[in-house]
Amino acid sequence: MTESRDQLRTLYRHRFPEHELKRKHAIWKALCRRFFSRYVNPTDTVVDIGAGYCEFINNIAAGRKIAVDLNPEVKRFAAPGVQVINESCAAISELSAGTANVVFMSNFLEHLPDKQMVLDTFREAHRILATDGRIIVLQPNIRFLYDEYWDFFDHRTPLSDRSLVEGLQLAGFVPELVIPRFLPYTTKSRLPQAPWLVDLYLRFPPAWRLLGKQALVVARKKSS
């Protein structure tokens, strides 16, 4: 476990230099305000699994915010008031069943070792969500990234919008929204960098079909 965390720390220091974080947070602030906030109530408990540099969880408006990530450095990037849990995505023992209203995952599942771990992660999200709670998954779509997907050393599991839907259904979720092409591959892609341009991009879905290489799936936890 210690070796795995050390590897994460080393990889992300090289891949995401800290001087770029201000720009990334500006992008995510616009994404949260313009788009993701429609799925999160101001009083909700939100759990960001694979929180990384906390770009989403720091910028979404919510009553209680929780970042889950194995990387111990996440605590350095979490904003005041964000609870950090350094536990496995498939076994978040600090959180009781029905704790969360929203579970969010972005650019995370491709790093898991196999699809069984992906399914275990979905099932853990299902456990910690309240009835009718939502899961939001933003994920590089292998259907449009069959070559670039493998440019990162820690990308292990290929997923598409279709396999995401099937996995979520197996875990007990009902898909509400599926967008095969939503955002560009990374924040270093051709996604407009200025916040007002991000706003414009989000208002113009035809641009998604041209530039989008990440899938977005929103699903609800089925009632018992």
How does strand 45-49 pair with strand 64-68? parallel
Cβ-defined contacts of 33-42 (< 8 Å, 24+) = 33/59, 34/198, 34/199, 34/202, 34/203, 35/202, 36/60, 36/104, 36/136, 37/61, 39/102, 39/134, 39/136, 39/218, 40/101, 40/102, 41/101
* Cα gap 166→147, rounded to integer Å: 23
* Cα gap 187→99, rounded to integer Å: 31
Of 154, 175, 160, which Cα lies nearest the Cα of 218? 175
Tell me what pLDDT residue 116 has: 97
CATH architecture of residue range(s) 2-221:
3-Layer(aba) Sandwich (3.40)
Give me the residue spans of the domains in the chain: 2-221
Rounded to 5 degrees, what angle do the CA atoms 168, 154, 145 make?
65
Tell me what pLDDT residue 1 has: 45
Tell me what pLDDT residue 10 has: 59
* Cα gap 16→20, rounded to integer Å: 7
Tell me what pLDDT residue 2 has: 44
Tell me what pLDDT residue 3 has: 45
* pLDDT per position as a tens digit, 15-58: 556 667 778 889 999 999 999 999 999 999 999 999 999 999 99
Residues in the chain, pLDDT under 70: 1-19, 187-193, 224
